[in-house]
Amino acid sequence: MLQPGDTIPDLSAPDQNDQSLPLRQRLGAKGAVIYFYPKDNTPGCTVEANDFQTLGAEFAAKGFTVIGVSKDSIKSHVSFCTKYNLQFTLLSDTDGALCEAFGAWQEKKNYGKVYMGIVRSTFIVDGHGVVRKVYPSVKTAGHAAAVLGEVDRLSLA
């Protein structure tokens, strides 16, 4: 998993509008919050997305973009954005390149079954693409607010 001080990879993935740009071109003036989540339209992922949407104007006012990443299709992202009126970027990482490069693709265990999947994780990145803070295993409740507070604490805004 990427750590503070690492530079994010400059990979591309299409967003919900089927526009593919290098990740560093998606950063806001001061940086970005890049969060990885398992699946559109699931309870925890919906809570997390709605919380980031609710605080979206505050992140934008601080010069930060919010970028969600999952392996869901563009079509799934369009449906998710429409259903919940999400106004931030969701990247469709169907080949898993971003998930692997950030270290969010990991072995998981559920009811004794072992499988590979996306570990819910968040990265605060400055405007130069340098990771400033990593949340390696996220619980959704209150997470977006904690990330917003950390942006202030790091004096990135």
CB atoms within 10 A of CB 19: 11
The backbone torsions φ and ψ at residue 2, rounded to the nearest 5 degrees and listed phi first, read -55, 150
* 37, 151, 16, 49 alpha-carbon torsion, rounded to 10°: 50
Which helix (H) or strand (E) segment holds residue 79: the answer is: helix 74-84
Longest dimension (CA), the chain: 44
Q: What is the rounded distance in angstroms from the CA atom of residue 112 to the CA atom of residue 56? A: 37
Is 45 known to be catalytic? yes
Contact criterion met (CB below 8 Å) for 84 and 46: yes
2, 45, 99, 124: which is the annotated catalytic residue? 45
Using CA of residue 113, residue 116, residue 117, residue 122, what is the dihedral sign? positive
Residues acting as catalytic residues: 45
